[in-house]
Amino acid sequence: MAEPLHQLPSRSQVEPSTVQDSRRTSLPTSASSVPDPQRNSLVLETDATNDAEKFAFNNDVEKNASPVSTLGEEEVRMGDIAEATDPNIVWWDGEADPENPMNWPTYKRWGTVAVVSAITFLTPLASSSFAPGIPKIMEEFGSTDNMLEGFMLSVYVLGFAFGPLIIAPLSEMFGRLPLYHSCNCLFIIFSIAAAVSTNLTMFIIFRFFMGCFGGGPIVLGGGTIADLISREQRGTAMAVWMMGPTIGPCIGPVIGGFLTEARGWRWNFWLVAILAGAFFIASIILMRETSASIILERKAKRLRASTGNPKLRSKLDSGLSPRDLFMFSIVRPTKMLTRSTICFCMSLYIAITYAYLYILFTTFTAVFTNQYNWRGGVVGLSFLGLGVGSFLGQMVFTYYGNKTAAKHHRLGDFKPEHRLYVMAAGGFFLPIGLFWYGWSVQAQTHYMVPIIGTGFVGLGLLMTFMAATTYLVDVFTIHAASAMAASTVLRSLMAALIPLSSQKMYAALDYGWGNSLLGFVSLLLVPIPFLFIKYGERIRARSTVKL
């Protein structure tokens, strides 16, 4: 028999959001024990008309990350006492339970973050590393279609949009670790397949599947960080992890330009496969399951076997069958995107800025070849401005984001909206960079002038992208993987489809007005973080999103 009084955590055991999130997922034992819906707890509803879905679990996700300090001390204490009335609930064994990922040794927690960050860095890098070699691929496969030329690059990102729809719900069912391993393995297989492609159709199909499985770490990484790292240190962890989706695509063409010139375009994919193989081996050796729901379910299974009590269940057990859990999980990202104001607005901001990144990727080679007569591997250096700007943006976010979070933690009034101060400032750099880059290219100024302009684009992109992503993780916490899936799907669709028309846009408007159009759109997005800084907490408090 489990010992629930010893398994219930004290308020200091885990970070406040984890305590409250875990309380929300506890299953009430009777009608009288159902908490007030305003406290966001799960509500048990009997549906007499549908035996296949006996229970519907409603969770107000936008309030998941509200600090416990916003609740009364007596309310928190009474919530813990109510949970203790069910002797069959399985939870952590005290404050220092070594099974709790939050209690793992520092080297183990940050080692896991490092491995996940390395894998996440490689997969977006693979999206653009062969960009300087696209003309050679088109020549080898005998194609002159400009749209197809852009689609070869963006089809990888299109895979990012479809993979997460399956990866996120599967991770809810089986945990994060099996999904990391299977996605890494399949990514290696399709990277090799792309390297040995014999025609353009094969190449595009294999690139698509590379993107589908390469998106796994991007979807799962935010959840892994939420599993392991406390709010005080989460900004640093997110900064390291987000280097992949933001800086990786900028560095890829620099490497790919010289590699294509030296060994041919196929070696871009051989290099990716080799590095992915090394990271795959490292992940098998070093990574362990971090999902609290999976760890607690395994613990409950062991206790059921050892005590003979079949009623023991994890505190995070939804009570759903695997099929129903999959169906609920697979629609969760779509619900978040379409019904959550916070998720939609932040994902839209991220998607537009990410689409701009790939517009530049698909046109840099043509711009610096035609306007500045760059040739060979040197063309890859045109991406350096974005890379340097992105790195500086990462440093700014890490320093000021952590400083702001630490300040409010000391004051005891931290809320997710404090992540958005950096985003509010970064929003101005993106239009500045686009105007600068577009008009300097059109005027054919010295090549360093537009490259500096792209540096401002990278700076603004990182400051907005990372702050918005960290904000989503802080807000949704236990559903961070689904929030990341929702954001990834929208940004990947826009990054895959919008750049296909970039050549026509520049042909009609030229580089000056073409990039100015993008800059004006980004200016319209600038108020979003300011609005959420002021009204975000109120929006979360009034949210009616049910999952």
Alpha-carbon torsion, ordered 531, 537, 538, 541, to 10 deg:
150
Q: What is the pLDDT of residue 95?
A: 80
The span from the CA of 289 to the CA of 180, in Å, is 10
pLDDT tens digits, 316-326: 877 777 778 77
- Residue 20 pLDDT greater than 50, yes or no: no
Residue 9: inside a domain, yes or no?
A: yes
Half-sphere exposure of 342 (CA within 13 A, CB side): 34
285 and 410 assigned to the same domain: yes
Nearest residue to 19 via CA among 315, 415, 419: 315
For 50-54, 246-250, 487-491, which range has the lowest pLDDT when averaged over its residues?
50-54
Q: What is the pLDDT of residue 27?
A: 34
Q: Is 215 helix (H, G, I), strand (E, B) or coil?
A: coil
51 and 195 assigned to the same domain: no
Amino acid found at 428 = F
Phi and psi for 241 in degrees, rounded to 5?
Answer: -65, -40
Residue 250 near residue 124, CB atoms below 8 Å: no
144 and 252 assigned to the same domain: yes
The span from the CA of 452 to the CA of 10, in Å, is 52
Residue 257 near residue 376, CB atoms below 8 Å: yes
- At residue 24 the predicted structure's pLDDT band, cuts being 50, 70 and 90, is very low
Q: Which residue has the higher pLDDT, 56 or 277?
A: 277
Q: What is the pLDDT of residue 23?
A: 34
Residue 342: inside a domain, yes or no?
A: yes
- Residue 44 pLDDT greater than 90, yes or no: no
Residue 470 near residue 233, CB atoms below 8 Å: no
Q: How many other β-carbons are positioned within 10 Å of the β-carbon of residue 282? A: 16
Q: Is 46 helix (H, G, I), strand (E, B) or coil?
A: strand
30 and 174 assigned to the same domain: no
Residue 495: inside a domain, yes or no?
A: yes
Q: Which residue has the higher pLDDT, 77 or 295?
A: 295
- Over the range 241-267, which residues count as b (16 or more CB within 10 Å of their CB) and which as e? bbbbbbbbbbbbbbbbbbbbbeeebbb
Alpha-carbon torsion, ordered 464, 465, 467, 468, to 10 deg:
100
Residue 201: inside a domain, yes or no?
A: yes
Q: Tell me which of 35, 68, 90 is where a domain ends.
A: 90
Q: Which residue has the higher pLDDT, 128 or 463?
A: 463
- CATH code for position 337: 1.20.1250.20
105 and 86 assigned to the same domain: no
- At residue 191 the predicted structure's pLDDT band, cuts being 50, 70 and 90, is very high
SS (H, E, C) 371-390: CCCCCHHHHHHHHHHHHHHH
Residue 313: inside a domain, yes or no?
A: no
Q: Tell me which of 90, 124, 157 is where a domain ends.
A: 90
Count how many domains the chain has: 2
Burial of 182 (C-beta count, 10 Å sphere; 0-12/13-18/19+): middle
135 and 256 assigned to the same domain: yes
Nearest residue to 121 via CA among 185, 214, 258, 192: 214
Helix axes 502-525, 146-174, angle to 10 degrees: 50
Q: What is the pLDDT of residue 9?
A: 37
The span from the CA of 496 to the CA of 269, in Å, is 20
Nearest residue to 82 via CA among 45, 43, 27: 27
Q: How many other β-carbons are positioned within 10 Å of the β-carbon of residue 546? A: 13
| Average pLDDT of every residue of the chain | 79
Residue 383 near residue 524, CB atoms below 8 Å: no
The span from the CA of 523 to the CA of 518, in Å, is 9
User: Strands, E, within 300-442: which ranges?
Assistant: 313-314
Q: What is the pLDDT of residue 419?
A: 87
Q: What is the pLDDT of residue 378?
A: 84
Average pLDDT over residues 452-467: 92
411 and 359 assigned to the same domain: yes
Strand-pair category, 89-90 with 55-58: unpaired
- Quick one: DSSP state of residue 238? H
pLDDT tens digits, 260-296: 888 999 999 999 999 999 999 999 999 999 988 899 9
Q: What is the pLDDT of residue 310?
A: 87
Q: What is the pLDDT of residue 278?
A: 95
Alpha-carbon distances, residue 349 vs 127, 189, 227 (angstroms):
21, 33, 26
Average pLDDT over residues 218-237: 84
The span from the CA of 276 to the CA of 216, in Å, is 13
Residue 304: inside a domain, yes or no?
A: no
Residue 299 near residue 160, CB atoms below 8 Å: no
The span from the CA of 360 to the CA of 122, in Å, is 20
The span from the CA of 455 to the CA of 441, in Å, is 14
Average pLDDT over residues 114-123: 92
Name residue, tokens 């046109």: 363
- Residue 450 pLDDT greater than 60, yes or no: yes
Q: What is the pLDDT of residue 426?
A: 92
84 and 203 assigned to the same domain: no
Average pLDDT over residues 496-508: 86
Q: What is the pLDDT of residue 452?
A: 95
Residue 126: inside a domain, yes or no?
A: yes
Q: What is the pLDDT of residue 546?
A: 62
328 and 394 assigned to the same domain: yes
- Residue 31 pLDDT greater than 60, yes or no: no
Q: What is the pLDDT of residue 436?
A: 96
Residue 537 near residue 51, CB atoms below 8 Å: no
Residue 296: inside a domain, yes or no?
A: no
Q: What is the pLDDT of residue 285?
A: 92
Q: Radius of gyration (Cα) for the chain, nearest Å?
A: 24
Residue 234 near residue 180, CB atoms below 8 Å: no
Q: What is the pLDDT of residue 64?
A: 36
SS (H, E, C) 501-521: HHHHHHHHHHHHHHHHHHHHH
Q: Which residue has the higher pLDDT, 38 or 457?
A: 457
- At residue 84 the predicted structure's pLDDT band, cuts being 50, 70 and 90, is low
70 and 197 assigned to the same domain: no
- Residue 150 pLDDT greater than 90, yes or no: no
Q: Tell me which of 90, 117, 141 is where a domain ends.
A: 90
3-state helix, strand, coil in the chain (%, to 5): 80, 5, 20
Residue 204 near residue 152, CB atoms below 8 Å: yes
146 and 195 assigned to the same domain: yes
- Residue 76 pLDDT greater than 60, yes or no: no
Q: Which residue has the higher pLDDT, 356 or 332?
A: 356
For 1-5, 320-324, 462-466, which range has the lowest pLDDT when averaged over its residues?
1-5
- Quick one: DSSP state of residue 48? T
- Residue 431 pLDDT greater than 90, yes or no: yes
pLDDT tens digits, 95-113: 888 989 999 999 999 999 9
Q: What is the pLDDT of residue 4?
A: 39
252 and 361 assigned to the same domain: yes
Residues whose CB is less than 8 angstroms from the CB of residue 38 and which lie 6 or more positions away in sequence, other chains included: none
Beta bridge partners of 46: 55
- Residue 146 pLDDT greater than 90, yes or no: no
Q: How many other β-carbons are positioned within 10 Å of the β-carbon of residue 238? A: 29
Q: Domain containing 269: what range?
A: 101-289+323-541
